[in-house]
Amino acid sequence: MGKLFLKLATLGAIVLTVMYFITGFLDWLSTESFRLEKPFWVMNQRGKSYDFAVIGSSRAENCTDVRTIEKVTGKKGVNLGVQGACFADNLIMFRRFLNNGNSTRVLLLEVDEYALDSRNSFLDPFKVQFYLPYLDDQWVQQIVADNISGTRYHLWRWLPPTKYIEYNTMYLTYCLQHGLGMMGFDFDKTGGSRLEANQAPFVFDAAWVIKNRKKEKTIDGKDLKYLNRLISYASERGVKVLLYTAPQYHEKLKYLENHRDFLAKMEEISHSCNIGYCNYEYDDLTRDPALFTDASHMNAKGTVLFSTKLAEEVRKAL
Amino acid sequence: MPFNSLSYLFFLPAVFLLVSLSRGKLQWLGLLASSVAFYAAFRVPYLILALFFVTAFTFAAGIRIERSNTPRGKQALLVTGILGNLLVLVLLKYLPFFSYTLNSLLGLLTSELFFPQASVLASVGVSYYVFQAISYLVDVYLEVEKAEPHFGYFALYISFFPKLLQGPIERCGTLLPQLKEPYRFDYDNVRSGLVLFAWGLWKKLVIADRLAPALNTAYGDVHGYSGISLALATYCYAVQIYCDFSGYTDMARGTALLFNIELTENFKAPYSATSVADFWRRWHISFSRWILDYIFKPLQMYWRSRGTVGTVAALLVTFVASGVWHGASWGFVIWGALHGLYMGVAVLYKPYQKKIHGFLGIRKGRLLTVWQTVITFHLVCFAWIFFRANSLSDASFVVRSLVELPAGNLGLASLAKLINIYGRNDALIVVAALVVLLGVGALGNRVRLFESPVYLRWPCYLALVFMIVLLSTFHSSSEFIYVQF
């Protein structure tokens, strides 16, 4: 049996050595150069100064146009929103953004019923796969530990190659695309906003909404905790926070069980943290189906109209 | 506890150490306790109860059959034993189907539910060990085997964890004597077992699980696809189910080899079969032998006076039963009936084969073999459509789309959509992995890995490990397909 263990140990040692080397290489490459995916683009920004930054989930990334706000206000901005990101994601990305020598005076934080119930609203609520290279950072470690299973966390922590083994295809693909010089969406050109390209006319379908809602929506304690942490963190770093809720088609509000609780909670946070809150869920824009791509996302035309309105609040905040 | 789970990675070495370190007479106890723990990991208490019932009931029935002095008594005990086992199978597996079908039929007359709709209970492994228990009873009845007097060994024979969830369905004559052998560490067996396990894991994680999203997308919304994309999805399913099931069997056989136990080889390159009968000699071998011995042969004997027609009828009944064994759904029934039909037609065609070949000028040779292999593969794939489709209407839509293919309705747009959703990287990895699989299959027994020099052997080990580590789909790994049967 000794011979077997010796051979298994040798095999294991060779595999681990190679995997540690690959892990180091991927940690270095992804923190230095990956920009194809939005989270990497956000976390790999370096040494830039902005007047305002937009953050949140898809309704920040897709429905808030930085270039329109820049045009109206004459100030420089960046969109740090990521589709399907929860507040824990936003917190990690915003911290990396600031720690990379970037700065912003105002943070426009998009809050809505979905982001406050991310586990029921998003397919992939916590985007842990993007933080694998940052697991040495205790701050990131703590948030990751809070959002994934203990077994996975400890495996990744004490045997780092396992994190890339789990997400092998994703990182191999990134390496391949990076090596081939492939370009994804040009976030540099749009300032991080990705306006909806879909031009198909939108028709509200109540039956579809009822059929596709996963669970009765609530206010998730964990999402609320990270929203508060994000606000506190920005305030501590001298960034003025402005909360806003992007428009969604007015009919949809009837089907959001946590809408009333959400409004009350936003009122409470805005009051207790002494920060502004603009809710566009009752704006006139929400009544025009021609401005939407689906019930909770505006199309490019709607986004530009909404961003023009939001720009006035940005101007006031600056 | 699935073989491709992280917990199994800790469980297996722990059992290996437990058995290696325990003294001779207690080794069976270590394996039995591990098997129960393995099954209990599913956290479905009634499954443990069902396993215990089948074990105790079959054990008692076996002993009583052996002790019974009259043929009629033996026969009654055998029937009772079989019915008792089938009752467990029906209760756990088929009750929801029966109540659904009866309600559907009666629902044509009225909208009320006549029978309470039974919930779908987890029945993991039940069909496998129930079939094993039935084969034991029949073998004892026919005096092919002696009844096992030791309850511990018998319980281990029924519940031995490597084959508990998906087989192979082992006969007591081959497995029980091996379980009774005192364990002695055998380096060659352990090495072979580990490599076989890794090979099975590779087939499952790199090929089967990577193919799953493509065909799940297409078969999940068949009306969104047409023509060539549905044909591609069906081919993908044929490869997926082979890699998934044979991968599991390799892992089961590899695990058993660690304990010096050889389980039945369940697959022998099934898609290189030159006829459907040949396919069944290569696919799920332990199951096809079971249905051959315990369903087909008795039926054929019973209908022997009817000659060829009797054989065809026996084949049809046997394969419909094999479809029903897979699950309570009409899709499985049609899948089984199709295989029965293929075999039946082959039986009827056989006497005329030489004449027809002679008339058409077809000669035996490589070209004919290739042609027969291609035809067999497509017949099997056609049956897979009913096996995989979510409903009969989905299956008929797929068939209609395929029928329209020669008319030029290729559905290239839906193919582009499928590739777009699936991703080129996954497709590339699967194609590369299939080349490796075919290459290893082609080498077959010509290259003996363990006899080759270290500078060839070790790169092979390392390549296998790195292929698993770097190309597997750990993040979206799914459960084994056959575990649901």
Average pLDDT, consecutive stretches of 10 residues, N- to C-terminus, chain B (485 residues)? 84 91 80 93 86 95 92 92 92 74 65 52 82 94 92 94 91 92 89 94 91 84 83 92 94 94 92 93 94 92 88 94 86 94 92 83 84 94 94 91 74 70 76 88 76 86 90 72 65
Residue A255 is predicted with a pLDDT of 81
Q: B312-339 b/e with 16+ CB inside 10 Å = b?
A: bbbbbbbbbbbbbbbbbbebbbbbbbbb
Q: CA A261 → CA A59, A117, A249, B210, B313, distances in Å?
A: 20, 12, 19, 42, 67
Whether the complex's predicted ipTM is more than 0.90 is answered with no
Tell me how many residue pairs between chain A and chain B have CB atoms under 8 A apart: 45
Query: Among A220-224, A227-231, B83-87, B421-425, which is the least confidently predicted range?
Result: B421-425
Give the pLDDT score at A199.
72
pLDDT at A178: 75
Which chain A residues touch B473 with a CB distance below 8 Å? Answer: 169
**Residue at token pair 């899709």:** B331
Side chain identity at B30, as an amino acid letter? G
For chain B, the 3-state helix, strand and coil shares in percent, each to the nearest 5, are 80, 0, 20
Nearest CA-CA distance, residue A278 and chain B, Å? 38
Q: Residue B45's pLDDT is what? A: 83
How many CA within 13 A on the CB side of residue B77?
23
Instruction: Determine contact: B429 vs chain A, CB below 8 A.
Output: yes
Query: What is the mean pLDDT of the segment spanning A198-222?
Result: 76
Dump pLDDT digits (tens) for A156-193.
Answer: 989 999 888 888 888 887 787 777 777 678 899 999 99
C-alpha distances in angstroms, B147 versus A157, B64, B84, B135, B299? 53, 9, 18, 12, 25
Residues in chain A: 318
**B 163-192 → A contacts, CB under 8 A:** 185, 187, 190-191
Contact B471 A18 (CB under 8 A): no
Beta carbons of B323 and B332 less than 8 angstroms apart = yes
Strand order in the sheet with A77-79: A77-79, A49-55, A103-110, A240-245, A276-279
Predicted confidence at residue B107, as pLDDT, reads 65
Q: Is B21 on the interface with A (CB under 8 A)?
A: no
| CA–CA distance, B376 with B362 (Å, rounded to integer) | 17
Tell me if B20 and A1 make a contact (CB, 8 A cut-off): yes
From first CA to last CA, the distance across chain B in angstroms is 16
Contacts of residue B331, Cβ cutoff 8 Å, sequence gap at least 6? B386, B387, B388, B389, B391, B392, B395
Q: CA A208: distance to chain centroid?
A: 26
Q: Do B425 and A176 touch (CB under 8 A)?
A: yes
3 state SS of B388: helix
Q: What's the mean per-residue pLDDT of chain A?
A: 89
Nearest chain B Cα distance for residue A305, angstroms = 32
Q: Tens of pLDDT along A18-66? A: 999 999 999 888 887 777 789 999 999 999 999 999 999 999 999 999 9
Q: What is the pLDDT, as a whole number, of residue A193? A: 93
Residue A169 to residue B469, Cβ atoms within 8 A: no
- Distance of residue A240 Cα from the nearest chain B Cα, in angstroms: 39
Confidence of residue A98 (pLDDT cuts 50, 70, 90): very high
For A52, the token pair is: 């305002």
pLDDT at B385: 95
Q: What is the mean pLDDT of residues A10-15?
A: 92
Q: Cβ of A275: how many Cβ atoms within 10 Å?
A: 18
Q: Please report residues of B whose CB lies closer than 8 A to that of A155.
A: 6
Rounded distance, CA B216 to CA B233, Å? 8
Q: Over the stretch A246-303, which tens digit does the pLDDT of each residue have?
A: 999 988 888 887 888 888 889 899 989 889 999 999 999 999 988 999 888 999 999 9
What per-residue confidence (pLDDT) applies to B477? 62
The more confidently predicted of residues A206 and B386 is B386
Dihedral of CA A167/A168/A170/A175: which sign? Answer: positive
Are the C-beta atoms of B411 and B224 separated by less than 8 Å?
A: no
**In angstroms, rounded to a whole number, what is the distance separating the alpha carbons of residues A163 and A167?**
7
Whether residues B474 and A1 touch (CB distance < 8 A) is answered with no
Task: Indicate the CATH number of A2-317 among 3.40.50.300, 2.60.40.10, 3.40.50.1110, 3.30.70.260.
Answer: 3.40.50.1110
Structure confidence at residue B411 (pLDDT): 66
Quick check: A39 and A127 in contact, CB under 8 A? yes
On whether the CB atoms of residues A64 and A305 are closer than 8 A, the answer is no
C-alpha torsion sign, points B383, B384, B389, B395: negative
